[in-house]
Amino acid sequence: MDFDLTEEQSMVQKMVRDFAQKEIVPTIKEQDRKQEMAPFVIPRMGELGILGACIPVRYGGQGMDYISLGLACEELEAVDTSLRVVLSVHTGLCALTLLQWGTEDQKQKYLNPLAKGELVGCGAFSEPGAGSDFANIVGSAKRDGDVYVLNGEKMWISLANVADIAVVTMRTNPHAEKLSRGLTTFLVDLHSPGVTRDDIHGKLGVRAGSTGWISFQDVRVPVENRIGEEGEGFKVTMSSFDNGRYTVAAGATGLIRASLEASVAYAKERKTFGKPISNHQMIQAKIARMSRDYEASRLLYLRAGTLKNQGIRNTRETSLAKWVATEASFNAASEAVQIHGGYGFSDEYNVERYLRNAKGAMIYEGSNEIQQLIQASYALGYRKDKPLRRELPAFDEEYWQEENL
């Protein structure tokens, strides 16, 4: 595998970095304190094309590859996790699910405006009573002629209060032999009658982002908005996670980098016992570990991205990248706070925010315990990936970038 970035990828990386540094850094601390996302952030990301970076031009996107998506996530989370979360759910859980499973009509109608940022998307799977044990969700969808009627509540949904549409998985068959076979996924217009939603406040991290609940009461969803077949919802949802997790892995890698850079700068400046603390071996050990974890996490997500580009199933590799990077990012942020001593404990520096933000990624998109179960089951031979009816399409530069169709 060739992990050198192409010229195109390097330029994407620099562009997203410049955007995040110039436009987000100046106000992020204030937004985090206010527990609000700055209103300009998502429209601006749409205008710059970041929201549709890896979507084919024919569907309104920018025609870049999946590695570019990862690089964008790394750059965004190096500034703040809330920015990367936007790509995780809008692009990862919503747009890419449509790219993989959607019909041509669904892609024209929804993927196009999503890629352009005219619509904001999210993925609503978890419920108050079921997160890790996703097959146990109770939210229901009942067919009534040309529509499905949705009832239930989704919990901990990123961009709940901001999104226009959501990929939602509900139970359509309570009597299915296996719980997971009774689920179906839909694309739901969140402005429909019967949808109520709000943000959750008092979160530990991702405070400059929206996380909330969405309640569905007799929400009528047209049959043509079903994604995949009836009963295919578990598979559709799991493939959404293959994409969402990838963005989380890449983002966490950015958080490690940010912790490392802050630690290096501070350690060279701060003196104890007559020398910069960077000269103390115990501080060096922390820095060494952060560098190691940054490089390893970066290679793992680049590998997952390369597999995606090649159209090869990557559930195992993506899960590993997510587990390694998010655990390491929590560690890196914690050590960054430690290196900053008393100052690290205050929001005068960024590192305490990194630490609070890093924790969430160990929980969402499959908790790290779930990632370990996945890794173990592959290693033990308990799990083998079967081909899906619709795979995430391999990146084909010509097809992706063809214009004026």
- Binding stretches for ligand FAD (CB under 6 A): 89, 122-126, 131-133, 156-158, 206, 211, 270, 272-273, 277, 280, 282-283, 338-339, 341-342, 345, 360, 363-364, 367, 369-370
CA–CA distance, 44 with 16 (Å, rounded to integer): 12
DSSP state of 201: -
Candidates 75, 232, 317, 365; catalytic one: 365
Among 14, 33, 143, 268, binds other proteins (CB under 8 A): 14
What residues have CB less than 8 Å from 209, skipping those under 6 apart? 37, 81, 82, 85, 86, 158, 159
Q: How far is residue 209's CA from residue 190's CA, in Å, rounded to a whole number?
A: 18
177 binds, among ligand FAD, other proteins, none (CB under 5 to 8 A by kind): none
* Contacted entry of other proteins, ligand FAD, none for residue 67, CB cut-off 5 to 8 Å set by kind: none
Closest listed residue to residue 81, CA positions, set 158, 161, 163: 158
Round to whole Å and give the CA distance between 159 and 124: 10
DSSP code, position 83 = H
With CB under 8 A as the contact rule, which of the stretches 9-17, 79-87, 232-240, 328-336 interacts with other proteins?
A: 9-17
Residue count at the site for other proteins (CB under 8 A)? 17
CB of 10 to other proteins, least distance (A): 8
Least distance CB 87 / ligand FAD (angstroms): 12
Eight-state DSSP code of residue 391: P
- Of these partners, other proteins, ligand FAD, none, which one is at the site of residue 53 (CB under 5 to 8 Å by kind)? other proteins
7 belongs to the binding site for other proteins (CB under 8 A): yes
Q: What angle do CA 298, 301, 305 make, to 5 degrees?
A: 130
Footprint on residues 41-80 left by other proteins (CB under 8 A):
48-49, 53, 62-64
Is 230 catalytic? The answer is: no
Task: Extract the tokens encoding 298.
Answer: 């970066």
Q: Is 302 in the site for other proteins (CB under 8 A)?
A: no
Query: Measured at the alpha carbon of residue 62, what is the angle toward residues 61 and 63, in degrees to the nearest 5?
Result: 100
The residues binding other proteins (CB under 8 A) are 6-8, 11-12, 14-15, 18-19, 22, 48-49, 53, 62-64, 401
Q: Which residues are catalytic?
A: 365
